[in-house]
């Protein structure tokens, strides 16, 4: 059994996570060895922010080493690569991106599960659908036969005080619950992805079913040349 610091931190965090909550290891700019250690510690889902990084890591570890989620902003011209590399895309924020993924998935005979990203803080510089537009977007995406909306994701602003995110998580959960009561042809509200390393505990208290944890698992990133 691996005894690396990453594996030990991973085991410790997973031991405190309630049943029914999935931990995604946010592996942006992490090495293959770091990711391998997180898997040894019990991680079952790895999240990547970039298609290129995901491709490189999967080349080293194997596509079937774990589940892979796209948790960064996805460009439409990367849709073909994304449906090949990922089991779930968490950051669909427009019909145009959904249509690109639908076309790419249909071409290879897949149905691509996705989350709709919610800009819960209404930050103009951030991606995500505004809360008041989420139902409309879900309904539009619901018409795409090779795409399947399975829930919502939100980021929230970067902050040192996770309590400031609680109202945003609570609003997103309320939106999730409201959408769960709607009738769609294909869409289902099954996954609510909220919270990161400094806020996952608050997110879980606000009934997230999935959290994305990076530095708390892997430790601080080393700065090259520092």
Q: What is the pLDDT of residues 72-118, one digit of tens each?
A: 999 999 999 999 999 999 999 999 999 999 999 999 999 999 999 99
- Give the H/E segment covering residue 116: strand 112-118
Closest CA relative to residue 43, chosen from 218, 223, 222: 218
**Secondary structure letter of residue 18 according to DSSP:** P
pLDDT for the residue numbered 222: 62
Q: How far apart are CA 140 and CA 125, in angstroms?
A: 24
Q: What is the pLDDT of residues 120-161, one digit of tens each?
A: 999 988 889 999 999 999 999 999 999 999 999 999 888 899
CATH number 3.40.718.10 given to 5-218: no
> Model pTM greater than 0.75?
yes
Q: What is the pLDDT of residues 174-213, one digit of tens each?
A: 999 999 999 999 999 999 999 999 999 999 999 999 999 9
Q: What is the pLDDT of residues 160-169, one digit of tens each?
A: 999 999 999 9
Q: How far apart are CA 74 and CA 159, in angstroms?
A: 24
Q: Per-domain residue ranges for the chain?
A: 5-218
Whether the predicted pLDDT of 223 surpasses 50:
no
Mean pLDDT computed over 44-72: 97
For the chain, what is the total number of helices (H) and then of strands (E)?
9, 8
Residue pair 17/204 in contact (Cβ under 8 Å)? The answer is yes
Q: How far apart are CA 167 and CA 199, in angstroms?
A: 12
Residue-wise over 172-211: b if at least 16 C-beta within 10 A, else e? bbebbeebeeeeeeebebebbbbbbbbbbebbbebbbbbb
Whether the predicted pLDDT of 64 surpasses 50:
yes
pLDDT for the residue numbered 226: 37
**What share of the chain in percent tops pLDDT 70?**
97
Residue-wise over 89-125: b if at least 16 C-beta within 10 A, else e? bbbbbbbebbbbbbbbbbeeeeebbbbbbbbbbeeee
Residue pair 220/29 in contact (Cβ under 8 Å)? The answer is no
Residue pair 213/196 in contact (Cβ under 8 Å)? The answer is yes
pLDDT for the residue numbered 82: 98
Mean pLDDT computed over 18-35: 97
Neighbours of 80 (CB within 10 A): 17
């Amino acid at each position: 059994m691996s005894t690396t610091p990453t594996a030990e931190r991973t085991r410790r965090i997973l031991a405190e996570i309630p049943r029914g909550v999935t931990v995604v290891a946010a592996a942006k700019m992490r090495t293959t060895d770091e990711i391998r250690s997180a898997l040894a510690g019990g991680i079952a889902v790895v999240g990547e922010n970039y298609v290129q990084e995901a491709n490189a890591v999967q080349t080293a570890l194997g596509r079937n080493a774990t589940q892979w989620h796209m948790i960064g902003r996805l460009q439409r011209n990367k849709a073909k690569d994304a449906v090949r590399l990922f089991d779930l895309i968490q950051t669909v924020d427009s019909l145009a991106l959904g249509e690109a993924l639908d076309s790419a998935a249909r071409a290879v005979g897949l149905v691509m599960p996705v989350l709709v990203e919610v800009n819960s803080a209404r930050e103009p510089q951030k991606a995500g659908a505004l809360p008041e537009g989420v139902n409309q977007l879900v309904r539009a995406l619901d018409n795409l036969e090779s795409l399947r909306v399975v829930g919502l994701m939100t980021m929230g602003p970067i902050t040192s005080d996770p309590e400031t995110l609680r109202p945003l998580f609570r609003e997103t959960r309320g939106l999730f619950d409201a959408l769960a009561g709607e009738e769609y042809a294909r869409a289902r509200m099954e996954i609510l992805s909220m919270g990161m390393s400094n806020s996952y505990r608050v997110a879980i208290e606000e009934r997230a079913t999935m959290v994305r944890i990076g530095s708390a698992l892997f430790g601080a990133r080393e700065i090259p040349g520092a």
